[in-house]
Amino acid sequence: MTHPQRFLTASAFVGLIVLPPTLIAHAAADADKTVPKQLVLTGQSAFTDAAHEAPGTRRHLTVADLPAPAPDQSVDNGPNIVPRPANAWPIAPKGFKVELYATGLDNPREIRTAPNGDLFLAESETGKIKIFRGVSPQGKPLQTSVFAIGLHQPFGIAFYPNGANPHWVYIGDTDAIVRFPYRNGDLKARGPMEHLADLPGGGRLRGGGHWTRDLAFSLDGAKLFASVGSHSNVDDSDTHPEEFHRADVLEFTPEGKFLEIYARGLRNCVGEAINPTTGELWCSTNERDALGNNLVPDYITHVEEGGFYGWPWWYMGPHQDPRLEGRHPELRDKVITPDIILQPHFASLEMTFYQGSQFPAEFHGDAFAAEHGSWNRAPRTGYEVIRLPMHNGHATGEYEDFLTGFTVGNSDGDVWGRPVGVAVAKDGSLFVSDDGSRSIWHVIYTGK
């Protein structure tokens, strides 16, 4: 049955957006793409809320746009999760349709596509990894299976070795890297779990730190990157031993031998992805809280080996956190400014690069990221999937609203959906996990 809002597009929301004078025309510079001119929100006009997110709207924030710290603005404004209203549906750009692929799931989090096309999903709270296979004429899975149970808040999923015929499925538990023997087509693990390495343990953000652990293999398969978020908001890691090997990307061999801290100062690199064009590791990162509505922005960036990204003493280049004033001045000029500055408190989670052929040609090589949504900003922001335009594998600095509509009414209203994961199917369509409505959404390009 066709849902009444399934084909809503950005044009349906023009009336919600007051176009400011700082809106500028933009044409993508990528010579191998044909991209129409688009309007880009810049400067202070780029700091908006969920009520003004609509497919096709672009924003470009820079370090020059950051306000001064304003801790008095900080609020606890957690979303009120409600059942999806009967007339609510995710909103995609013109030419795309959205189908409800699966629902009634238990805390669906990261979603990854296996080389054979199966979808692997982490149900983190129940410690399960599930598999979804195929799409029926009704848009539902042809088969569903539980691949593994008994895990400890699993999140990251990676297949090894790289290529068409992996032998293992690696899982990032909150306190360990584990793996299961696997061959294409397996619906259940073909052998017991193997423990490879310990990781600093997680917990809940408001009671023990960031708990997600993502995994990614380098293009040559020689390195395994594991992201570990901070234990705190901004504790000085010099004096808090619980921050050891946290707010870092850790590098291991595929066999689980620790090699080095690959990069540090990333408060919480929730989503990892390897850029297929450049081979670089990228991170979708949650920054610190309690410095104001518009500080500190979340970000998505390539990650340099040996790079330092600021946490906890600095942020966004040479900006010192006032709560740690005067500490580590020698690091000021070493802080790497991220490639794409997002809305503050977006809660940017899983990301993926688009290598499919179903979407229009201009999407090829771009990235998608899931924005779980704010809990500590007065005007709610996030609750969407964004597109990250690339030029020859490098970010333009902009991001574009792609899939919206997960809130009810204005930005201060209820929330029914919270995107977590994004995965590209073998046919080039996009799957999105959503732990607000406990669902997986399927985004298909039809051109209509």
pLDDT at site 205 = 66
Mean pLDDT throughout 15-21? 34
Average pLDDT of every residue of the chain? 91
State pLDDT tens for residues 207-239: 678 999 999 999 999 999 999 999 999 999 999
Angle of CA points 90, 345, 364, to nearest 5°: 50
* Identity of the residue numbered 101: Y
State pLDDT tens for residues 84-132: 999 999 999 999 999 999 999 999 999 999 999 999 999 999 999 999 9
CA distance 100 to 85: 14
CA distance 238 to 406: 40
State pLDDT tens for residues 401-438: 999 999 997 556 799 999 999 999 999 999 999 999 99
Question: What are the sequence ranges of the domains in the chain?
Answer: 10-67+77-445
CA 228 → CA 125, 139, 224, 245, 376, distances in Å? 18, 36, 13, 7, 22
196: left (phi over 0), alpha (psi -120 to 50) or beta: alpha
- Tell whether pTM > 0.85: yes
Q: In CATH terms, is domain 10-67+77-445 a member of 2.120.10.30?
A: yes
CA distance 316 to 327: 16
Cα four-point dihedral sign 416, 419, 425, 430: positive
The region of weakest confidence among 70-84, 178-192, 303-317, 386-400 is 70-84
Q: Which residues neighbour 444 within 8 Å (Cβ) at sequence distance 6 or greater?
A: 96, 97, 98, 99, 358, 429
Is residue 419 reached through a cis peptide bond, with omega within 30 degrees of 0 on the bond before it?
A: no
Quickly list DSSP for 17-64: ----TT-EEE----TT-----EEEEEGGGG---GGG--TT-EEEB-GG
Cα four-point dihedral sign 401, 403, 405, 407: negative
Residue 12, CB half-sphere, CA atoms under 13 Å: how many?
Answer: 14
CA distance 137 to 132: 15
Nearest CA among 416, 402, 409, 306 for reference residue 98:
402
Model confidence at 332: pLDDT above 90: yes
